[in-house]
Chains A and B, each alone.
Chain A
Amino acid sequence: KQEVTQIPAALSVPEGENLVLNCSFTDSAIYNLQWFRQDPGKGLTSLLLIQSSQREQTSGRLNASLDKSSGRSTLYIAASQPGDSATYLCAVGRRTYKYIFGTGTRLKVLA
């Protein structure tokens, strides 16, 4: 059974810091991996999608990498801002239509 874990569970950093969020999965047989952001009580916003054949994806200040063989993905956020405060979720695409979500990292960026 695929298990997806995110470390740390919570993170508080001062504004301007570069930071790394980690996502680990137990079964490397994945189709893709997606990073989402969720604000309190709201829906999920897709940030980046990495196909299994790709190593990384970039969008603005965000960079996500994927290492299937080691079962890891990282989300790098450059020059963090208070507006980045949210819960970040990774989700592993196992087969058609099915995503398994990670446990999430709650990020707080202090002004």
Chain B
Amino acid sequence: DTEVTQTPKHLVMGMTNKKSLKCEQHMGHRAMYWYKQKAKKPPELMFVYSYEKLSINESVPSRFSPECPNSSLLNLHLHALQPEDSALYLCASSQPPLNSGRHVDTQYFGPGTRLTVL
């Protein structure tokens, strides 16, 4: 099973709402990622979790709050978003580097959540 699932597929929220995006994988990967992608632009890395610990935060505003409750699940909690936060949010997973190496392995992406902030 090389599938990464994301829910919901679409989300519309107001600027005062609180919502969460969910991501799940059962490939035994111990690295999970959140990316943001605007229309006709490449994905931009937001967060990386490695062994359920936050490894990278790319200076993302605090209105985005990631959470990794276990090795299979990754959440992104949203609060007080702005209209410019509307985008496709992609989750990915990979095997973390082996002890002897430090290179990124193949990343497997989910289908994304299309977020619209009104």
Contacts and interface: CB of A to CB of B under 8 A. Distances in A.
Q: A and B: partners? A: yes
Interface string A83-111: 00000010001011111011110000000
B27 to A, nearest CB: 13
Is the contact region of chain A dominated by helix, strand, or loop, or is it mixed?
strand
B106 to A, nearest CB: 5
A1 interface: no
Given A42-B112, A43-B109, A96 B43 contact: no
A101 B42 contact: yes
A76 interface: no
A99 B4 CA distance: 18
Given A41-B114, A97-B33, A32 B90 contact: no
Contacts of B50: 97
A31 B105 CA distance: 10
A32 B102 CA distance: 11
Interface of B: 4, 6, 31, 33, 40, 42-45, 48, 50, 55-56, 88, 90, 92, 94, 96-97, 102-112, 114
Interface of A: 31-32, 34, 36, 41-46, 49, 51-52, 89, 93, 95-99, 101-104
